[in-house]
Every structure is written in C-alpha cells, then in structure tokens.
Structure 1
C-alpha cells in the first residue's frame, strides 16, 4: 500500500491539448500554491513516525522558517502588486485577489496542521524519550526558585515594557519578533491599560529548567521551558504598583523583500544599506496570536497593526516553532540520523579522508566531478582555493560569492592570496536575499585586504558558482576552474546536495575567463563554447536541446530529457517539454520545490513524469541531460527554471566532457527515478503523493542513505 498526504486543493480543472495542436491556457500549475505544497512535503516528514525523532523536530523548525520567508517575500509581493494595481492573473490563470485568498486559506490549514503535529504527536514522543517541554505550573518549587533567580539576573535587565496610552503611541513591532501583549490595571483608578514586551532574541527561546544559563544542548534527562512562559510569570516585576490582569503572546510578519533601483543608485552598497534599514519597517502581512487571546486584545492588535481578519493566525502556544531548533540540537545520537562522514573524492587520491591531496596535480590528470555532501567540500573545493592562495606559481584568482559562512575559509583564502601579492577578483553578490548585510561586511573586509571587489552587472544578480585560478607553469599559463551548482559555503555544503566540476579544460577556462571579464568590465557580446549563460543563451540553449530530442525521436534515434532542479516555472521551457512529450519523448523532471508542470495530461504531457525528493540533505543540484541519440549530453550549473534565474540573473551551466562522468550521472538519475526509490509523485491535477513503501509495506530505497553507504564502501575499498 502507498501512503498519501492531505492534499492542498487546487483549481478544479485539467487542461487538454487544443484541437489545433496548440496548448490551452490552463496548462500550468500555480507557482505560489505549488510552493505551499512543497512545504507540506516538509511537514509530512515531521509527521512520519518512522523518522528519527529529533529530525522530525528539525523539520518542524524548517517548516516554520520556510513559511516565514514565504510571507515576507511572496505574499508581501503579491499584496504590494494588488495595492498598486499592478497585479495580473498568474500563468495558471488565477486572479490575483483570488490567489491571495487561496494562499491565506491554505496557509491557515498548514499552520494548524503544523501546530497539531507538534502538540499531539511530537511533544508526547519527546516526553517518552525524557525530553520535556514544561509549563510553569508543572515545575516544583526548587525549579521555580532557580528560574526566578535566573530571570532577575539575566532576563529582567534586558526587558523593556512599552505602555500604550495618550502619551505613548502604539509601539513599532519588528518583523518575526515574539511579543507579549500585557493588560495591567491601576488598583487606584481601576483603569486597564495595554503594554507590550518584546521577548529578547538574544536569549535562548527554550531554556533548561534546572540550568537556565547553560548554552550547551543537554543530553539525557531534559526539561525545558519557553522564555515567554518565564517572562509571563514575572510580569509583576516589570509593572510595580500595577495589577497584571492577563498576557498573551503574538508575532508579526512584515514585508521584508528588497527594492533597490540600481540604475538610480550611484553607490549600490549605500543604496542597499538604506533599503535594509527600510526592510525593518515594512508593512505587516501576517499576525500570529495564541488561540486563547482575549477578543478585545485581538481587536486592538488588528486595528493598530492594520491587518485584515484573514491575515490573523490563531494558534495554540507556543508560537514560532523555529525555536524547536534548540531541541533538534540535543546530543542524542540514537534520535538523529546516523553520523555522516564526508569522504575525499577518490579522483583526488587522498590517502586520508581528513587530508587534502594535491588538487592541481589531480586536475591535470582528468576532470573531477564532485557530488557533495558525499564528497567532502573541505578536501576538494576549499582545498583547491586554499592551495591556490598558498601556491607561489598561482598569479591570479577570480571568484564569485553569492552566499558564504560567517567564518568562511573561502574568504580567508582570497585574503591570503591578495596579501601574498596575487591578483584577486571577488564578485560579491550583495543582493543575495537575507544575506545582504553579511555580504556587505565580507565585501568591505575583502576590499581592505586588497582584493578587487565588484558587484556584477546593473540589474542582474550574479548567481553563477565559479572559481578561476591562473597558474604559471613550464609551458605557460594554465587555467584551473571550478564550476558548481551550490554556493561556496562550507557549512551548508555538509547538508546541501550539489555537483561541482574541477577541470583544466582549455575551452571551459576560456569561457569562464570571458564571463568574469563580462562581469567585471564591459563585454556585452561575449560568446561561449562549453557554457550556457543567462540571461542571453541559457533558456534558448536548453530549448534548442529539447527540440533536438524531438528531431531525434522522429528520426528513430534515442530521445530522452532528464531535468533536476529546485524549481521549474518558466513557461517557455515547460512548453518545450510539452512539445517533446507530444512527440513521444520521455521527459523526467526531478524537482525539490515549485513545479508548474502538469504531468500525465492526455494529448499534452502523458510522457512527462515529475518526482520530488526531500530528506536528510537538501536536494540542490541542477542537472540537464539529453539522450542525443547514442551521444548523451549533460549540463550542470547554477540555474533553476524560473524567470528570475533566466532573465534577471547571471547563471552558468557547463557541459560535461568526460564519458564516465556523463554515464555515472545518467545512472544516478535512473536510480532516483526507479520505482523502487522513495519519492513524491505529481499527478495531472497538481496533487503530490508520497511513495515510500511497497505493496507489502516494506520501505522503498532512500536515495540519500544509499549514496552515503555507497560512498562509504568506495572509501573503504580505496583505503584497503
């Protein structure tokens, strides 16, 4: 039997091909509803009792963080367009006002389901494992005394009660902050007043009942209490001489998307910093309140925050389950995924997994296709740049940085290289959403070290993942390149699934050199040989390949298209896939998140299958494979099939050349798509169904566990 999930309702229609061979206008799924379905799949992992308990807690936290971003960006953007009169029907044909109503309705259902999973299933399961989330009333007197002392010493000095009365206007409520709405009474006049207290985010959201000041995650017997619960029990200390009548927690989500008019900004850095300041004051798009809130307090918040009734989410306490990350970090190995060891790629020939090989020597022998996190990032990409910084024969390094970690060894390597007198160029994308401030800080740090820092092309984000190292050798200069599907981020490389290519191929080196010159200078007519580059040639290049598969099918040659991306919504690409399906070409799409394709529609897409994979690692790689008769073509790179990637970003795909790499990647795609591999299947009505057990109830293959075990076996064979 196969388990199915609660389905998000979609418009009640199934498109068909037009009689004249064209496509109907209802051939696309709505991208925003599709995103909510993706987050529903994340939630389904939290609901799975077969999953490790603390991983279920982690997925609850991820769901909350995902939904926050959805409201801050997607819902906020839709509301802004509606208010400005600029909204148009979606590609799925849904009116903007109706779309917003549907999004809010589905979000309400998902948040209630999210809260219920925690309260009714995960919380009791945690208690069974001696991990308790307690209320103040559950504590004994010794625990209460310990927390009272901690509150007065560590919490009370941080709190700032803000009164609301004729002399004090309603305070500004920052986005995503947790707050207490407090009603106090003057015992002399009997008058009731409102005050707001912000729960400080500089303190842990969940604190140990017995050791509240501890910053380390506890291990065995664990008793935790929420910070807002502790504060609410000590409100009399904040309002001496007043009677505390009642208090309730609430939370506001604001529009935090950025709007920077680069054409009008003389200094992009300064313009972005001003916009980051403005972001903090964006209009509210969601109000979360506890479900036992006094209706009068609720009405006051709705009025003062200027939100609509359908933007109010009434939920059981605690609000903001992102705080569950504290529980997810508890050191109980038996409640987590088994420990993962990333091994050095066998093509780098390192004798020890923790020691980097001579990356340059390995690259001269052959192209090296990396698959993270199964292949170690630190002993491959990181080692490549660190060795380049230290190598006296390296004369130049050019690097794109979209996101990186707070203690980035990549940035340190670039600084070391510049200080060693090498020519270093860093293309820092300071408009990377929600990493803007961090990237501004990195840009200034790099500039101070003597690195040439540029910010790309006006109007375009630079999302491509590129490294170029120029080395002086006996036969002249040689270019060493890395091009990948993921960011140069050592921390996320441990749980993001990505591909990367290390190569000394002359054509790739020439292409990447030209692309860097285009990004740092003026070269609008640059052409490329092994790369497809957005916004000029990537969409058209992929569509040309799809059309070639149609020709091959008609000629009786092997024809197939396999695409693996995070999201696919671009209408031109999807229509090309529909044409391929109508011609009889088998099309397989592996998508983690948003998908606007309607697979399996008679006369339109019956030869298209769509699968989704979620699990321990975030499936992040982008792969485009074409059968091309008996000479398959495979690209990897940074681009998803979305308008922003294809039209408003600099993206790059590289065509693989090594036959064994191409064959291995195609074999891996087939393993993903095998009926015996667990996945979610998308049907023609836009519903996702989880397939993770066979007809006898036995678990299907988990692709990520399989790849971990395969790499472990390979590493053992190399060591022996």
Structure 2
C-alpha cells in the first residue's frame, strides 16, 4: 500500500467494529468462553452465600492496582530516598504499567470485544472501567514524567550523570558516538518501507520504533517507513567516563541524528518515536486440549500477534502520521497515550546499573547465613539434613541467604548418596538456575527426580517450557499440572534413606525458587521433617502427578478443594469468639486481598468485634473503617527497597495462637483456580519470630501506608517522641545483630 497523508475526514474508522467483522466465529467463541467464565465465578460466589454487591462494599480491582503503583511512584518522588533509588522506582512504575496494560487492560478489552455485560463485583462494566483507567493513567503519566524530567534528570546532572542529546556533545564525544553508530547500530538496523510491495510491518510488543515520513526529492511523492530501535543495544550509550562523571546519549537520539544514512536519496520530513503494548490476556481452553504443552506454545505464538492495547507516541508527531499509525495498528484514539519527549522510561532502570556512584544508591545488602547453618572457616559445613532433624527452622529472604539455605538444600540432596528422591514445584526461576542444574545432576546420578513445571506462569511460559525440556532430557520426570489450575505452591521434598528407615525433608515457601528475585523479594520458607507435614507434602505431589481428586490433608491447607473452607472456618471461629465476649484477633499479610466471599466474612467478623489488621502490598478490594461494616479492620501497605511478597496468617483461636505461611493470597484465583499450600508454624520460637515480624510491620512509621475508607492511602509518619521504625532496616539490623550469638527466636 502506498503511503499518503490522510485528512481528518478520510479517517472514519471503527477498529472494534472492524475486528468483529473480520473475526466472526472467533468473536462468538470468545463471548461464549467469557460468559462461561463469569458464570463459573458467580456459581462459586452464590454457593458461598455472597450477600453483598456494589461500590458500598468493594473497591474496584483496577483502581486499587493503580493506587498500588501510585505508592511505588511516591518512592520515586520522595527526596529522602537516594537519587538512583528514585530513578529505579520510576523504572518500576513504568514496568508495572506495561504489565497492567498487557494483563488487566487486555482482559477488559477482550470482555468489551466479546460483548460480555457482566458487572464487576463493585458494579462496573468493562467499558466503565476502561474509561476510569485511562483518566487515572493519564494523571500518573504526567506525574512520573514530571518527576523524572524536572527533578531527577537535573539532579543526576549535578551528581555527574549527564544524559545529553547528540548536538550537545563535545567533538570528542561525537566521534565516540559516530564510531559506535557505525560499528554497533547501523549494521543491525533494518528500515522497513511501506508501499505497494511492502505491507505495513508487524510491530512487536514493547518495541521502540520511529515512524518516518519521507519524500522523493524529484517526484515529491511521500512515503512512510518504520525503523525499529534495536533492543539488543543499550538504550543509553556511554560516550564519556572520567571518575564519577559520565555522559550518556540515548540511542534514539543518535539514530535520529543519523537517520538520513538509512534513506540515501530521500528527504526525511519527520521521525518520531512510538511504542506498542499488546494484549497478554488470551483465551485458552485447557479442558479440551489434547496436549497442554502444545496449547501454551500456541498461546505464546498468538500473544506475539495479539491485539494492541496501548500506543505510546511522541506528542509532536504530525497529526496525519498519528492517524496513519492508528489505522494500520487497528486501534482507536482511546488507546493512544501522547507524551512530550522520549517514551519508554522503563529503561531508566539502566541508569541505576551504572558502576560507581555508591553515594547515590542504598547501601548494598548482603544476605546473612542462617544461624543454624553457621560454622567456623576451619569447620566442615553442617549437613542441612542433620540441622533440620534437630528441629524446624525458618528462613526469611532476602535477609537470610537463599544460596546458603534453599539452594543448598537442593544441591546437597543432589550430591548425597543417601538421597533417593527429590520432588519440586517450579513456578518461576532464573534463566540459568543452579537449582535446575542440581536437579538434572541428581537425575543423571540415578535418583528419582520429579518436577511439577507450571508452564502457564504469565510471561515465564517460554522459559519454563525450555527448562521442562532440559529436565526431561536429563531423565527428570516432568509433569505439567492439572488443566484449569495453576501450580502456584512452593514445595520441595527430599526422601533420604537413613538407619531408622526412609525420612522425608521438606521446604515449604511463600516465594518462587528464583535465586535472582530472592535478593529483592521478601519471602519466608519453612524447613521441616515433621512426619505429618511430610506426609501431606507427599500427598500434594501425588495429587499433582497422579489421580487423587478426594485427597485430604492433616496439617497443610491446600487449594483448591480445602483452603477456602479452612480459611472461612478460622474467620468464623474468631467471629463466634467475639460474639461470646472472648478475645478474638486476626492478623494477615499478603500480596492482594480480592475474594468477595472472604471479604464478606471479614466484614462479619469486624461487626462481631474481632480486631483485624491486614498488610496488603497491592490490590485490596475490602473497604476498611466503614461505620457499621468494618470499623475494626485496618489495612496497611509496606513499600520500600524490597518487594513484600510473603503470605503470613495469624488467628488467636481461643489462645492457641495459630500462625501459618504459604503461597496463597486471599484471592478467588488462589482459592479456587490454583494449587496452593499453607503450612502451620508450630515451633514456639518460630511463632515468636512471626509475632516479632508482624509487630515490626504494624509499628512501621517510615514505609507504612494506611488505606482509608474512600480508597485513598495515607503515609504514616513518625510522631513526636516515637522511635523510628523502618521495616526493612529493622529486619536487616536484626539479622546482622543475630550473627553472634544465635538468637533463640530464630530456632
């Protein structure tokens, strides 16, 4: 198609109608699947006697998620944080928005396209939510970009980190840039023209591109071309470094300056950046799939070509080029987010990785070895199995070393000749995971190794498929789970032959077996050889690899069949205790609180007088502190240098003080659509440690936010006379101080 300029009147185009027209049967099937999904949800709710509905009882999920990102953005705007930490939070805000559009906005657009009219539990349609989302995101964009360009970039320049355009460089720096362009950029960039023989090119997800308008100097004909900025080159190119002074030039500015070299003989009229985000919320029918692995591989291919849910572009782009892009990308104006200046600030994270500048970063934290595994340099490292036999112990990452506990557990099991079998669930892990290599080595040594790989883990499907194939090639028994359910539980079990017979050792965690995120995510893990818990863990693996639909468990709370009922029962017990004038208390910590039925039970508990404190990092649909509904419920959120990821639960339970940790949030998907496991913490010293951690969270006056009845959050600050309590600093100091002697509360 030859490019031409379009006048506003020529672009009467409805992409939604066009998609419906083109898809036909596919849209009808999509609508059917969405309706069935919604009916399934309503069946769960009605069977649990949900009696409440609407905005008087629930916050909107999407708005609550955006409020979470606002709290992250507040860290970028906080002048008390180190400068490069503030830049890091800008990158995280943008990364979060990318995922939000791919998953949440993508899902809402699918509902809209399919004509699904079911309202959310807070009473909004998909169209209603998309309108509010756009308004909130526009405000967020204005805030984070203002912070980055008006505050952080000038502050970086003052500290010696300068980001310059090509024309601002010195002659020497221009020579460095020219050489880099010639050697590292020009050979790998492919300009793509659009004309009769070249259709409009496919634009890959989250890629940065130039929309270029060209003119033939003789014929005066205008043409369109797209030039993709190579993702395998740094976004910011270092052209000068001397001591603590560095000059960086954006790759797009260097390409824009040299753009004539890609089109000799043509006149470049304009070149402006744009970036697309594609839908990652795709439909799959696992129940009808003959091969789940093949189904996921098909989904990955489909995702590559999925609908665009957001177009970010340079606001100074000529209007007729904007319209041309909108038509050819098959979207409408509501999906367009115009910005002045550079786009794709997720790449600001590159700045934080600059070497040097320690004063601009938080002091590096090195996780400590857990006290029970500590030994002198000249002593032999204690066997982790012998340590576990002495009593349960619990690790708290990233304060405790992942490498010297969880990873050591698997590595030692792989090498130990007395170990007969190893089983593990895999939800997410790193690209080159030492744990996976240990499991492969164990299988090659003749041990029975089984790994439950969750190939439906969003955005990690391709990596998990690769690991599954590598594991199978080494003789590992690989299973892909149960259709319709995700394996989200974090379990490892090791069966060892000992003098007294076979003994099973277990690790039950709240976080993924991911050595990289273990440095950044806060998580808990229990090591135990308790026979009852070990038997339950064995039964979970049997459930996942075999056929055991009626499996029951003695101590573990396991989803999807049992966890909802058990959590509900614990809440109801506290409710009855309060009604009878006895002490009643609930404290919980999780990533998200979303399930409507659980929220209803918490409201009932509050009305009975149960005192409830909940620490929720992200989404919370429960409305706290509302008269007649939730006066006794307080919701807090901790935001800081580590990502709060652990799930911890406490129930007074008539003075029994029940503590537990596990993989499940109180969300519909965790309770009904995932395999999860929550384990009791029974050792008195470990219960005291969890109580200590809860106390730190609930006394924090630096990192803690409180959710208000109107949905806003208030940052809680230190009052006069109060001691400063910052959760992450307190726990880091606690671990450093515990080096000697071994504190009793950690055993």
Q: Within 2, Cα distance between the matches of 1:52 and 1:660?
A: 36
Give the whole-Å Cα distance in 2 for the aligned partners of 1:312 and 1:60. 21
Give yes or no for the alignment of 1:313 onto 2:351: no
Structure 2 counterpart of 1:99: 129
Runs of 4 or more consecutive aligned structure 1 residues displaced over 4 Å after TM superposition: 21-24, 352-356
Deviation at 1:108, TM superposition (A): 1.2
Between the aligned partners of 1:600 and 1:166, the Cα distance in structure 2 is 64
Using the TM superposition, give the Cα deviation of residue 374 of structure 1 relative to its aligned residue in structure 2, in angstroms. Answer: 0.7
Unpaired runs of 5+ residues, structure 1, are: 1-20, 212-217
Q: Does 1:433 align with 2:458?
A: yes
Offset of 1:355 from its aligned partner? 9.0
Q: Which residue number corresponds to residue 605 of structure 1? A: 630
Report the Cα distance in structure 2 between the residues aligned to 1:123 and 1:117, rounded to whole angstroms. 9
Distance 2:583 2:691 in 1: 14
Displacement after TM superposition at 1:350 (Å): 3.4
Q: TM-score, normalised by structure 1?
A: 0.94
Q: Does 1:674 find its partner at 2:664?
A: no
Q: Structure 2, unaligned stretches of length 5 or more? A: 1-49
User: Aligned partners of 2:599, 2:659: CA distance in 1, in Å?
Assistant: 19
1:533 is the counterpart of 2:558? yes
Q: Distance in 2 between matches of 1:402 and 1:169?
A: 40
Summarize the Cα distance change of 1:286–1:565 in structure 2 as closer, same or farther, 3 Å threshold.
Answer: same
- 1:135 corresponding residue in structure 2: 165
Structure 2 match to 1:241: 265
2:289 to 265, 268, 287: 265
TM-score under structure 2 normalisation?
A: 0.90
2:114 maps to: 84
Q: Deviations over 1:370-425 (max 9, x none)?
A: 11111111111111111111111110111101001111111011111111111110
CA displacement at 1:616 relative to structure 2: 0.7
* In 2: Cα distance, 1:420 partner to 1:144 partner: 57
Residue 709 of structure 1 corresponds to which residue in structure 2?
733
Q: Cα gap change, 1:100/1:206 in structure 2, threshold over 3 Å: closer, same or farther?
A: same
The change in CA–CA distance for 1:284 and 1:314 in structure 2 (over 3 A counts) is same
Could you tell me how far apart the structure 2 residues matched to 1:665 and 1:134 are?
A: 49
Structure 1 CA distance, aligned partners of 2:411 and 2:700? 42
What are the residue-to-residue correspondences of 1:180-329 with 2, within 5 Å? 180-210=210-240, 220-329=244-353
CA contact (8 A) 2:700 2:725 kept: no
Cα–Cα, structure 1 residues 677 and 156, in superposed 2: closer, same or farther, change >3 Å?
closer
CA contact (8 A) 1:46 1:60 kept: yes
2:642 to 608, 611, 617: 617
- CA deviations 1:598-628 (Å, max 9, x no partner) are 0000010000000000111000000111011
**Distance in 2 separating the partners of 1:667 and 1:152:** 59
Q: Is the 8 A contact 1:677 1:701 kept in 2?
A: yes
State the partner residue of 1:360: 385
Encode CA deviations 1:643-691: one digit per residue, 9 max, x unaligned: 1111111011001111121122122212211264541110111111112
Question: What root-mean-square deviation, in Å, do the aligned CA atoms of Structure 1 and Structure 2 show?
Answer: 1.8
Q: 1:180, 1:249 within 8 Å by CA — same for their partners in 2?
A: yes
Match of 1:154 among 184, 194, 198: 184
Q: Please list the CA deviations of residues 200-257 of structure 1 after superposition, one character each: whole Å capped at 9, or x if unmatched.
A: 101111111238xxxxxx9721111111111111111100001112110110111123
Instruction: Report SS of the residue matched to 2:506.
Output: strand
Aligned partner (choices 418, 428, 432) of residue 407 of structure 1: 432
Instruction: Please show how residues 344-355 of structure 1 align to structure 2 within 5 Å.
Output: 344-351=369-376
Mapped contact 2:701–2:716 kept (Cα < 8 A): no
Offset at residue 693 of structure 1 (A)? 4.1
Change (3 A) 1:36 1:195: same
Aligned runs of 1:661-700 on 2, under 5 Å?
A: 661-674=686-699, 676=701, 678-694=703-719, 700=724
Answer yes or no: is the 8 Å Cα contact 1:263–1:458 preserved in 2: yes
Secondary structure, in 3 states, of the residue corresponding to 1:597?
A: coil
Are residues 1:57 and 2:82 paired? no
Q: Counterparts in 2 of 1:378-457, with a 5 A limit?
A: 378-457=403-482
- In 1, the alpha carbon distance for the partners of 2:660 and 2:308 equals 42
Change beyond 3 A, Cα 1:466–1:675: closer
Partner of 2:528: 503
2:21: which partner in 1?
none
1:35 alignment counterpart: 65
| Counterpart Cα distance in 2 of 1:416 and 1:246 | 57
Q: Please, which of 96, 102, 105 is the counterpart of residue 66 of structure 1?
A: 96
Counterpart residue number, 1:109: 139
1:584-595 equivalences under 5 Å are: 584-595=609-620
1:675–1:715 distance in 2 versus 1, CA, 3 Å: closer
Contact map agreement 1:692 1:699 (CA 8 A) in 2: no
2: CA distance, partners of 1:539 / 1:623: 16
Q: 1:653 aligns with which of 665, 675, 678?
A: 678
Contact 2:699/2:725 (8 A) holds in 1: no
Judge conservation of contact 1:258–1:279 (CA < 8 Å) in 2.
yes
Distance, in Å, in 2 between the alignment partners of 1:717 and 1:441 is: 44
Do the aligned partners of residues 718 and 655 (structure 1) sit closer, same or farther apart at CA in structure 2, a change above 3 Å counting?
Answer: closer
Distance 1:219 1:369 in 2: 44
Q: Is the CA contact (8 Å cut-off) linking 1:258 and 1:276 kept in structure 2?
A: no
Counterparts in 2 of 1:582 and 1:350: CA distance versus 1, 3 Å? farther
- CA offset digits 1:264-290 (Å, max 9, x no partner): 222222221121111111111111011
2 CA distance for matches of 1:337 and 1:716?
25
- Compute the displacement of 1:73 (Å): 0.9
TM superposition shift of 1:165: 2.1
Task: Work out the CA distance in 1 between the residues paired with 2:251 and 2:723.
Answer: 40
Question: Is 1:122 the counterpart of 2:146 in the alignment?
Answer: no
Q: Name the SS of the counterpart of 1:578 in structure 2.
A: helix
Greater alpha carbon shift after TM alignment, 354-363 vs 161-170: 354-363
Shift of residue 718 of structure 1? 4.8
Tell me if structure 1 keeps the 8 A contact 2:396–2:525.
Answer: yes
CA contact (8 A) 2:640 2:703 kept: no
1:44 corresponds to 2:65 = no
Query: 1:569·1:594 contact (CA, 8 Å) conserved in 2?
Result: yes
